[in-house]
Structure 1
Amino acid sequence: MKLALNIICQITKSWSISIPSTSRQSDTSWASRIRQYVASSKLCTTNLEDEDFNENLRRCAAAMEAGIHPLRIPSGSSGSYFIRDISGKTIAVFKPKDEEPFAPLNPKWPKFFQRILCFCCFGRACLIPNNGYLSETGASLVDEKLKLHIVPKTRVVKLASPAFFYSRSFWKRKVPKLKAGSYQLFVNGYVGAGSIVPDWSKEGHSCPLSPAEADRFKILFQKMCVLDYVIRNTDRHMDNWLVRYEKKNILEVAAIDNGLAFPIKHPETTSRLRPFPFGWAQLSWAKLSWDEELRTHLLDLLTPQFVQELCDDIKMLFKYDKEVNRFLKYNQLRVMRGQIWNLRMALIERKPPAEMVKLPLLLVSRRHRRRPMSNDWNKSFRVKYADYRGRGCC
């Protein structure tokens, strides 16, 4: 058990990340810049201000030392696991990189047969394969930067457990191999939006929400729309966003399953048959005008300087996966900047989310390598319309 605990928080030498410094002095090294989103090699923590996440990770380590290992989640298309504490309570969800939907060690049989029999439609051409764990963490990063607070805190962590799915060679090893993946804090008391939100979409006296609750849900719903639009989530439907509701007491929304986001191309320009539209765009809530407080908050926040800082943070995070070509990461940022450009225009022109998704698709790159000195977006960025030529069937 001692050996098992030791390997939980040790990162192999090729992936080693320095311990977060207690100093507040600026450090431009790659390891220091992403320490807020990647667990360190020795302390099993991220940054020192991330105490809730650090405590959760310590509970995970204590449980695994006591022999309480993760439980595989039967639903879904990838190998994902409930992380438990020493009392058996679920505290997090871990999704290993090598067990993602299109990874070689995915334990779910449907994806295996799809890879063998339907290889022409395998995967999503607009996404980087097996990059979902960084997409999950990137969504949490964007959520925190935009101050939306609807994504459960997510970080990159390496764990090892015999409960994970390994190849046959695993059984020849004395200890399980470390797996990098996304580690998302578990939220309690939530249900799938599909079981409750359709009733809230009814107009008139049939809607069970009070006026104050309807206003609250409108803000939370629009925050989710903003998040999904910025990261260009290709997999948002009624089953992967959650609602916690206690009448006249609690109303919260949690946007989970963000692993199929940050495309290298707009999905609409990649496939004729699979554009991956936003699942919420058809709801009546998407047709409501923007909440004025949220609109003002976002417009004040979305300056060229902020966009550049956000893109720099995303770029640093995505550098964690050294197998991905840097030009693909560059294309991811062009798509995200284009989405932010359209979001800003929709807010200025007061177009609701349902109209925002109809804006022309853009690819936006920066004009200067350094921090923009002007608040003029046209002087800070180059805008190009997305190219629909060369679309495939799938």
Structure 2
Amino acid sequence: MASVRVAAIDNGLAFPFKHPDSWRACTVIVTSWEGEEVCSLRVSEAELRCLPADPFHWTWLPLAQVPFSPETCEMMLPTLSDPSFVHELEENLLRLFKEDKGFDRTTYENQMSVIRGQLLNLEKALHQGLSPFQLVQLPAVRMERNPAMETSHLPSFSPFQEVYTQNFRRQKPFFSWW
């Protein structure tokens, strides 16, 4: 039985491609930011299939209209602004996804482009004092790795320096409600 640890549950757009190959029963363990287990929940295949199709079903809640608290901003911004955090996240996801028999490196790179774009939007929302509702209305952006760009002219503060290209989605997603 697989065990997945999450700090936040609603990441409906994180993986726009079908992944993994099939629905799997799993145990979801919710942890605090300090890493302490808050609760765990066994989720069956049937329950996974019944999840809402609309990834924004929560935006009608009054709390979604309230800007992120200063405490949340102070807690998250240093991590989101740290390139080593993003690199480590990508490496951990790569190890996890490689376990799937249908793993495809191109699909993985596309998924990471979406995640980097989401992290960029989240960082922007926290800096600008936006609400979660306003966050989901930001333009969808992909941060694509650009291996063709020469990075030797950049300061060498990191062993994994990379150049990224921002691509904004002009067409609204098919499940959009706004």
Question: 1:186 is matched with which residue?
Answer: 41
Question: 2:75 is matched with which residue?
Answer: 297
3-state SS of paired residue (1:147): coil
Identify which of 281, 292, 307 aligns with 2:59: 281
The structure that has the greater radius of gyration is 1
Decide which structure has greater helix share. 1
Higher RCO structure, 1 or 2 (CA under 8 Å, sep 6+): 2
Question: 1:130 is matched with which residue?
Answer: 21
- Runs of 4+, deviation exceeding 6 Å: 150-153
Compared with structure 1, are the counterparts of its residues 345 and 132 closer, same or farther at alpha carbon in structure 2 (3 Å cutoff)?
farther
* Residues 231-250 of structure 1: pairs in structure 2 closer than 5 A: none
Offset at 1:329? 1.5
Larger mean CA deviation between 346-355 and 316-325 belongs to 316-325
Offset at 1:290? 1.1
3-state SS of paired residue (2:58): helix
3-state SS of paired residue (2:142): strand
* Residues 65-214 of structure 1: pairs in structure 2 closer than 5 A: 126-128=17-19, 130-133=21-24, 147=33, 185-186=40-41
Compared with structure 1, are the counterparts of its residues 151 and 351 closer, same or farther at alpha carbon in structure 2 (3 Å cutoff)?
farther
TM-score (norm 2): 0.62
Q: Structure 2: give runs of 5+ residues left out of the alignment.
A: 4-15
Compared with structure 1, are the counterparts of its residues 290 and 296 closer, same or farther at alpha carbon in structure 2 (3 Å cutoff)?
same
User: Using the alignment, how far apart are the partners of 2:114 and 2:17 within structure 1?
Assistant: 11
Question: 1:338 is matched with which residue?
Answer: 117
Question: 2:6 is matched with which residue?
Answer: none
* Residues 29-44 of structure 1: pairs in structure 2 closer than 5 A: none
Question: 1:201 is matched with which residue?
Answer: none
3-state SS of paired residue (1:384): strand
Compared with structure 1, are the counterparts of its residues 384 and 297 closer, same or farther at alpha carbon in structure 2 (3 Å cutoff)?
same
Give me the CA root mean square deviation: 4.2
Same amino acid, percent of matched pairs: 26
3-state SS of paired residue (1:363): strand
User: Using the alignment, how far apart are the partners of 2:157 and 2:139 within structure 1?
Assistant: 25
Identify which of 167, 170, 174 aligns with 1:384: 167
Question: 1:327 is matched with which residue?
Answer: 106
Offset at 1:328? 1.3
Question: Which amino acid is 2:78 matched to?
Answer: D
User: Using the alignment, how far apart are the partners of 2:65 and 2:130 within structure 1?
Assistant: 9
3-state SS of paired residue (1:281): coil
User: Using the alignment, how far apart are the partners of 2:24 and 2:156 within structure 1?
Assistant: 34
Question: Which amino acid is 2:69 matched to?
Answer: D
3-state SS of paired residue (1:360): coil
Question: Which amino acid is 1:316 matched to?
Answer: R
User: Using the alignment, how far apart are the partners of 1:346 and 1:383 within structure 2?
Assistant: 17
3-state SS of paired residue (1:186): strand
